[in-house]
């Protein structure tokens, strides 16, 4: 009996070690913590696949458990006043300093857009709440965190339109005066899919001739910026990396546009482009916009163009829309954009999106601060809550806030 228990225990430990262990690059700090963290994400992903296969609940519906697990009710504390409001019908969480100087003292403001692949995430998750409070206290700033609607219940362009409406509403003289915000010191920022929305909103605002108050800065944290080429060197190098493997990022893109699984399969094969989107591939040609050091062993091959129904019907028409893929705008549309902070991570499928955007913005004359983390992985900035708190998250947060302090 005792021998059987020992055998079962050893078998259990062996299976656990096999399941948890991943060949993560040695350069990444706290590798075992990342392995353990990712084993939870992988387990939930497998459960989501099974649930969808059995027709119990769709994949993103199960994955949303991650959001629920970290969701909190934001409340005021001794330094920060927190209110939940609606701007033009869209829910927002507003963070303001409790103590202020004279009535003539105006503050900075950061409009923050959470990540989660347009399908997951919430401004009410504890890592976003902590980040907002830190920004408020260290910069004496107002933080506006947007609770935009999510796919797949609300496909593109609804998440983008929610964000755009909030930004337009906030950038009114009367609204800014209500929150003591300086009209010349406002930035939009976001991580991952939130970085996508931040870049898209910044571009579209510049096209509005009637928009009197413009953004001073954009801060994009490992942003996703294009859906045309899902086989860039970083997509290939990091296709099995923790937190955001290529399969999950492609699924996010697919669900953002449609729930049609045929489109997901086409995106996985990188054969989803249609004649319209193919004309814009020049803007995501990584052989032209990536520094040589990131080419590595990979050779550029333009994505295939399909003229069948999967490629030309329904959601694929959104592929060429810069509100979905900000990297697709022509150079002339980049020249008037505000200064940018772009954070990228070496071990991230989205690395090349951010680097290509930084390259194109600089070439267009935009002031760009590109901060690349050689040991970074996707989502790192948000891992600030025990037990999944990482040292790199603290460094990223400190550098991000430092840039805002110096440039806003």
In a domain, 247, yes or no: no
Give CA–CA dist 185/176, Å, rounded.
11
Which is the catalytic residue, given 114, 155, 272, 378? 378
Query: What is the per-residue pLDDT for 392?
Result: 97
Q: Among 392, 336, 345, 347, which residue's Cα sits nearest to residue 370?
A: 345
Whether the predicted pLDDT of 351 surpasses 70: yes
The reported pLDDT for the residue numbered 301 is 87
Active-site annotation holds for 192: yes
Is 53 a member of any domain? no
**Domain membership flag for residue 61:** no
* Average pLDDT score over residue span 306-329: 78
Residue 357 has pLDDT above 60, yes or no: yes
- Quick one: CA torsion of 330, 331, 336, 337, rounded to 10 degrees? 80
* Residue 32 included in any domain: no
Lowest mean pLDDT among 218-222, 294-298, 362-366: 294-298
Number of domains in the chain: 1
* pLDDT given for residue 210 in this prediction: 86
Report pLDDT for 1: 46
- Mode of pairing for the β-strands spanning 181-191 and 107-113: parallel
DSSP code of residue 314: G
Position 331 pLDDT exceeds 50: yes
For residue 10, pLDDT beyond 70: no
pLDDT of 128 higher than 60: yes
At 39, the pLDDT band (50, 70, 90 cuts) reads very high
User: Which residue shows structure tokens 């951010």?
Assistant: 354
Give one DSSP letter per residue of 90-141, joined into a string. EEEEEEEES----TT--EEEEEEE--STTTS--TTBHHHHHHHHHHHHHHT-
Residue 314: the pLDDT is 64
- Give me the percent of the chain exceeding a pLDDT of 90: 82
Kindly indicate the confidence band of residue 42, based on its pLDDT and cuts at 50, 70 and 90. very high
Query: What is the arithmetic mean of pLDDT over 167-187?
Result: 97
**Whole domain around residue 202: which residue ranges?**
68-227+329-407
Question: Considering 162, 348, 352, 353, which one is annotated as catalytic?
Answer: 348
State the average pLDDT over residues 119-147.
97
What does the pLDDT read at residue 308? 58
Q: What pLDDT shows up at residue 103?
A: 61
Asked if residue 333 lies in contact with residue 305, where contact means CB atoms within 8 angstroms, the answer is: no
Residue 323 lies in a domain: no
Max Cα separation, the chain? 80
pLDDT (tens digit per residue) in 183-226: 999 999 999 999 999 999 999 999 888 889 999 999 999 999 99
140 belongs to the catalytic site: no
**pLDDT grade for 16, boundaries at 50, 70 and 90:** low
Percentage of residues in the chain having pLDDT higher than 70: 92
* pLDDT at residue 12 in the model: 44
- Give mean pLDDT, residues 79-102: 92
From CA 255, how far away is CA 351, in angstroms rounded? 21
Asked whether residue 26 is domain-assigned, the answer is no
pTM value? 0.94
CATH of the domain at 144: 3.40.50.1820
What's the whole-number average pLDDT of the chain? Answer: 91
Looking at the predicted structure, is the pLDDT value of residue 334 above 70? yes
Selected residue with higher pLDDT from 141 and 318 = 141
C-alpha distances out from residue 282 to 208, 302, 331, 352, Å: 26, 9, 11, 15
User: For residue 256, is it within any domain?
Assistant: no
Q: What is the pLDDT of residue 11?
A: 40
pLDDT of 71 higher than 50: yes
Average pLDDT over residues 368-393: 95
From 192, 277, 318, 325, the catalytic residue: 192
Cis peptide before 312 (omega within 30 of 0): no
Q: Is 1 domain-assigned?
A: no
348 has catalytic annotation: yes
């Amino acid at each position: 009996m005792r021998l059987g228990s020992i055998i079962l225990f050893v078998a259990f430990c062996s299976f656990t070690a096999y399941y948890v262990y991943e060949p993560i690059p040695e350069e990444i700090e706290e590798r075992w913590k990342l392995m353990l963290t990712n084993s939870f994400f992988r387990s939930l992903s497998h459960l989501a696949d099974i649930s969808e296969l059995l027709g119990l609940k769709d994949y993103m519906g199960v994955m949303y458990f991650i959001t629920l697990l970290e969701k909190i009710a934001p409340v005021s504390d001794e330094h920060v006043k927190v209110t939940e409001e609606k701007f033009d019908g869209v829910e927002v969480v507003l963070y303001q300093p409790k103590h202020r100087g004279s009535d003539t003292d105006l503050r900075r403001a950061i409009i923050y857009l959470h990540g989660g692949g347009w399908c997951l995430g919430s401004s009410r998750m504890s890592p976003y709440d902590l980040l907002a409070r830190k920004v408020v206290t260290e910069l004496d700033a107002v933080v506006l965190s947007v609770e935009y609607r999510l796919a797949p219940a609300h496909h593109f362009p609804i998440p983008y339109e929610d964000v755009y409406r909030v930004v337009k509403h906030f950038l009114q003289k009367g609204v800014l005066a209500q929150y003591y915000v300086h009209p010349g010191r406002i930035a939009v920022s976001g991580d991952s899919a939130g970085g996508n929305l931040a870049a898209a909103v910044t571009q579209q605002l510049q096209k509005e001739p009637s928009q009197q108050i413009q953004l001073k800065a954009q801060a994009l944290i490992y942003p996703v910026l294009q859906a045309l080429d899902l086989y860039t060197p970083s997509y290939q190098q990091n296709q099995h990396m923790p937190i955001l493997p290529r399969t999950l990022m492609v699924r996010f893109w697919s669900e953002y546009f449609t729930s049609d699984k045929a489109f997901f399969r086409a995106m996985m094969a990188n054969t989803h482009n249609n004649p319209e989107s193919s004309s814009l591939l020049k803007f995501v040609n990584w052989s032209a916009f990536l520094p040589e050091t990131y080419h590595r062993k990979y050779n550029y091959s333009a994505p295939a163009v399909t003229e069948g129904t999967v490629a030309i019907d329904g959601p694929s028409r959104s592929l060429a829309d810069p509100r979905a893929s900000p990297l697709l705008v022509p150079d002339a549309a980049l020249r008037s954009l505000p200064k940018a902070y772009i954070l990228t991570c070496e071990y991230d499928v989205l690395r090349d999106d951010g680097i290509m955007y930084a390259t194109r913005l600089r070439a267009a004359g935009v002031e760009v601060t590109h901060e690349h983390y050689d040991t970074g992985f996707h989502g790192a900035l948000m891992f600030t809550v025990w037990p999944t708190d990482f040292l790199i998250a603290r460094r990223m947060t400190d550098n991000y806030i430092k840039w805002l302090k110096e440039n806003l």
